[in-house]
């Protein structure tokens, strides 16, 4: 069975975490997996914007940091994610994108899920050849007129990603949750690979 837009429809409630470097198509795949599994895709960026737009107490706090050009501290981010994961639409599963980013946030997520007596079902790690990702991001930067996204800047972002996420992947691999999938190729192919990998666990 195929959902509108080409993503196969899968009847399974899953609690997923999606990890991948910039340029690996994580946002695209998050939307397609959300459709395929009928679960909400939850990104910290979306949570921030929604709370700021609605003027919630947490949103006001987050906006103060964002307006000052500072990172939203873990304490506020954790509270925002906790609030989001307590909403009714995540009862049958969810897909997290962009959280956790640190080992401390991994512990916080464990705590959040533990309250509801649930755990992650799988951590999907999109892999991608660095040179191919750099080429893809340089092309995107040119199309969007972002001259500040030079090859040096992009490679630095990829280095930071690898440095920050490696410990997280190691923790989840130790729990037997990691599913590695090649993130490069046609969108349909990558979605198919992820669904097949999850089905064979």
Question: Active-site residue numbers?
Answer: 26, 101, 140, 146, 157
46's CB contacts (< 8 A; 6+ apart) are: none
Handedness of CA 183, 184, 187, 193 (dihedral sign): negative
DSSP class of residue 24 equals S
Task: Give how far Cα 14 sits from Cα of 117, 119, 161, 169, 198, Å.
Answer: 14, 10, 25, 19, 10
């Amino acid at each position: 069975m195929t959902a509108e837009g080409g993503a196969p429809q899968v009847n399974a409630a899953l609690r997923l975490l999606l990890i991948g470097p910039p340029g690996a198509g994580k946002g695209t795949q998050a939307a397609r997996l959300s459709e395929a599994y009928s679960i909400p895709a939850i990104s910290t960026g979306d949570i921030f914007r929604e709370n700021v737009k609605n003027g919630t107490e947490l949103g006001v706090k987050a906006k103060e940091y964002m307006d000052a050009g500072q990172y939203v501290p873990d304490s506020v981010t954790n509270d925002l994610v906790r609030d989001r994961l307590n909403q009714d639409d995540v009862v049958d599963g969810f897909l997290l994108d962009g959280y956790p980013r640190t080992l401390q946030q991994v512990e916080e997520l464990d705590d959040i899920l533990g309250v509801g007596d649930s755990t992650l079902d799988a951590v999907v790690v999109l892999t991608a050849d660095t040179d191919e990702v750099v080429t893809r991001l340089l092309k995107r930067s040119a199309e969007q007129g972002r001259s500040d996204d030079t090859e040096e800047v992009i490679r630095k972002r990829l280095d930071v990603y690898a440095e920050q996420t490696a410990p997280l992947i190691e923790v989840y691999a130790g729990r037997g949750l990691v599913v590695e999938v090649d993130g490069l190729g046609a969108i349909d192919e990558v979605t198919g690979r992820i669904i097949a990998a999850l089905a064979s666990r």
